[in-house]
Structure 1
Amino acid sequence: MKDRTNTPSTKNSDSSFHSTIEKKTATRLAAIQALYQIEFNGANVNLVLEEFRAYRINIGDNDVNGRMHASFSLLQELVIGTDRSLTEIDRYLSTFLDETWPLDRIATVMRCILRLATFELMARHQVPAKVIIKEYIKLAYEFFSGAEPGMVNGVLDKIAHELRNTELECSNEKESTSRK
């Protein structure tokens, strides 16, 4: 696994919209790292979050060497929400994973990516499903260069159609109408 402590860096941009997107991506990356630490080390959720706040993320406007710009409140929401919903999340994931690849056989970082994305699809309805899927595919490419990002896409697409089918149908209708 690549060391992601210092990435992604926030690019200089005049657009607050663009920097907000980058900040959310960085926050999701930090959430993957936090869940990995919790699962791999059996660490306490609140202690891991406190460590991230104190040492690993920059929540202010000034650049702090070696820290990623991230939203601590979003990080808390993602990590605590995923941890609290783990049984339900794992049930969804197990339903949509290939029988030859049960959840416990998947690499820990892949489990963390899939769990976080599933939590967002379940609980963060203000974020479009397509945005969530795209973000986690992009993050999967940060860790994997093989077929894993495609697996993330396939599993999350199935879960999104289960959880947010109406939203996806409306989105597809709008896209097809705008192409005419």
Structure 2
Amino acid sequence: MTTDKTANQRGAARLAAVQALYQMDIAGTALADVLAEYEVYRLGKEIDGETYLKADPHWFRAIVTGVVRDQKALDPMIAGSISEGWTLSRLDSTLRAILRAGVFEIVERKDVPTAVIVTEYVEIAVAFFEGEEAKLVHAVLDRIARRERGQPNEA
């Protein structure tokens, strides 16, 4: 059973994981370097007057390392679930990071309800984008959850 505190720390870990994956994609930061940077300097810390949310460091690390480890399997799943005529490389880097993290959790974390995963990553998309991106995140994660888990999304 998760408490609200645990759930909030997992949500913060998801957000931090998306940011770390984005940083790795854009700046080419190595996995070990980005994990160390977030775990030592960002998670729950104040930087330039902004306080990062306290995040579950194990959840953060599991998502980031899992996405990096499984990216060759995750990307084709995502590419096969986005609209025809679109490729993964055409998507915004932040959107790719959100989708990779969400799909990783759907595939690997069967202990987490689909609705929780989809809702959390849609909320992250809403925080970063003002357009249709949140709907895309919802549609892609829902399609993949139906295939991978054989169940409809309740989100």
Aligned residue type for 1:27: A
Higher Rg of the two aligned structures: 1
Q: Identity across aligned pairs (percent)?
A: 34
Match of residue 85, structure 1, among 70, 74, 94? 70
Distance in 1 (CA, whole Å) between partners of 2:143 and 2:89 is 19
**Within 5 Å, which residues of 2 pair with 1:61-140?**
64-65=45-46, 66-140=51-125
Runs of 4 or more off by more than 3 Å in structure 1?
none
Shift of 1:54: 1.0
Contact 1:78 1:116 in 2 (8 A): yes
Instruction: Give the aligned partner of residue 6 of structure 1.
Output: none
Q: Deviations over 1:87-119 (max 9, x none)?
A: 100010111111222100000000000000000
| Matched AA of 1:54 | V
CA distance in 1, matches of 2:141, 2:100: 10
Q: Provide the rounded CA distance (Å) in 1 between the counterparts of 2:10 and 2:59.
A: 8
Tell me, yes or no, if the aligned pair for 1:27 and 1:74 is still in contact at 8 Å. Answer: yes
1:57–1:68 contact (8 Å) kept in structure 2: yes
Does the aligned pair in 2 maintain the 1:55–1:67 contact within 8 Å? Answer: no
Q: Does 1:26 align with 2:16?
A: no
Q: 1:39 aligns with which of 25, 33, 37?
A: 25
1:151 lines up with 2:118 in the alignment: no
Task: Deviation per CA, 1:38-68: give whole Å up to 9, x if none.
Answer: 111111011100000111012xxxxx43232
Shift of residue 78, structure 1, vs aligned partner? 0.3
Give the paired residue count. 149
Please give the root-mean-square deviation of Cα atoms over the aligned residues, in Å. Answer: 1.5
> How many Å apart are 1:71 and its aligned residue?
1.0
* Structure 1: runs of 5 or more not aligned: 1-15, 59-63, 173-180
Please tell me the residue identity of whatever aligns with 2:8.
E
CA–CA separation in structure 1 for the residues paired with 2:84 and 2:68: 24
In 2: Cα distance, 1:123 partner to 1:31 partner: 15
TM-score (norm 1): 0.79
**Structure 2: runs of 5 or more not aligned:** none
